Amino acid sequence: AQSVSQHNHHVILSEAASLELGCNYSYGGTVNLFWYVQYPGQHLQLLLKYFSGDPLVKGIKGFEAEFIKSKFSFNLRKPSVQWSDTAEYFCAVNDRGFQKLVFGTGTRLLVSP
Amino acid sequence: DAGVIQSPRHEVTEMGQEVTLRCKPISGHNSLFWYRQTMMRGLELLIYFNNNVPIDDSGMPEDRFSAKMPNASFSTLKIQPSEPRDSAVYFCASSSGRGGEQFFGPGTRLTVL
């Protein structure tokens, strides 16, 4: 069965610091990869997605993620975080051809001003 | 497009009462998902439908939970009887079937006293 691991459960950064959140998945087939963000008290929103092509994907609000197939990883990055990036971040994977997404356990990011 | 619509947004009820949560997916989407989110267990997939047919209900916690999708534009999640441990935020999401990207509704915050 597919699984998604997010190793950092809580991350605390100061504004302007760089961010990298790890995501590893276990599945040998062809997958689609996603990062969702959930701001406090809100629902999940899509940050970015990878289906195929350039493994470096750019999303909204300055976020990007790199798909490294050999490492089964899809890490999320942002060069300079802002206080407004305080949120929970979820990595998700699905097997192409299937609708079900497998989510990681989430990483709570706190950015101090 | 109005996005995924859920009602009610908040529900407070007493233990033993029946609770019905409602979801209207994005028009044209053929897959619908019900999730539950708690601090302790994170985001859990309860059930999902494809073309109004339940495909995977392995996440439904017990027989007190049931879900229906009578047509392409409406789904319900029912808890009968409700218990305090059912207190959570319940999200509905829909997908068009291309690539697996899911769009989440605003959620229903359920409190069972």
Element (H, E) at A32: strand A31-38
Greater pLDDT, B82 or A113: B82
Q: What's residue B98's pLDDT?
A: 62
Q: Do B100 and A34 touch (CB under 8 A)?
A: yes
Query: Across all residues in chain A, what is the average pLDDT?
Result: 92
B100 with A98: Cβ contact below 8 A: yes
Pairing relationship of beta strands A107-112 and B108-112 according to DSSP bridges: unpaired
Neighbours of A30 (CB within 10 A): 11
Report the C-alpha gap between A46 and A65 in whole angstroms: 13
> Dihedral, CA atoms, B55, B87, A23, B100, nearest 10 degrees?
30
Give the model's pLDDT for residue B100.
73
Q: How confident is the model at residue A23 (pLDDT cuts 50, 70, 90)?
A: very high
pLDDT given at position A3: 87
Distance from CA of A1 to the nearest CA of B (A): 14
For the segment A77-81, the average pLDDT, to the nearest whole number, is: 97
Contact A100/B56, CB-based, under 8 Å? yes
Task: Provide the 10 A C-beta neighbour count for residue B101.
Answer: 18
Angle CA(A98)–CA(A103)–CA(A107) in degrees, nearest 5?
160
Contact B100 A42 (CB under 8 A): no
How close, in Å, is residue B104 to chain A by CA atoms?
6
pLDDT at residue A100, as a whole number: 83
* pLDDT tens series, chain B, 113 aa: 689 999 999 999 999 999 999 999 999 999 999 999 998 888 899 999 999 999 999 999 889 999 999 999 999 999 999 999 999 999 999 998 766 789 999 999 999 99
Note the pLDDT of residue A109: 97
**Do B102 and A101 make contact, defined as CB atoms within 8 angstroms?**
yes
Each residue's pLDDT tens digit, A43-65: 999 999 999 899 999 999 999 99
Q: Which amino acid is at B41?
A: R
d(CA A9, CA A82) in angstroms, rounded, equals 19
Residue B103: closest CA among B33, B21, B19: B33
Across the interface, do B101 and A42 touch by the CB < 8 Å criterion? no
Q: What does the alpha-carbon distance between residue B86 and residue B102 come to, in Å, rounded to a whole number? A: 24
User: What is the average pLDDT across A80-106?
Assistant: 90
Please give the structure tokens belonging to residue B55.
Answer: 């495909």
Contact partners, residue B39, CB within 8 Å, separation at least 6: none
Residue B14: how many CB atoms within 10 A of its CB? 11
Size of interface A-B (CB pairs under 8 A): 50
Instruction: Report the residue from A49, A103, A105 with minimal CB separation from B101.
Output: A49
Instruction: Calculate how close chain B gets to A44, using CA atoms only, in Å.
Output: 6
Amino acid at B64: R
Phi-psi region of B93 (alpha: psi -120 to 50; beta: other; left: phi over 0): beta
Taking the Cβ of residue B82 and every Cβ of chain A, the question of whether any pair is shorter than 8 Å is answered with: no
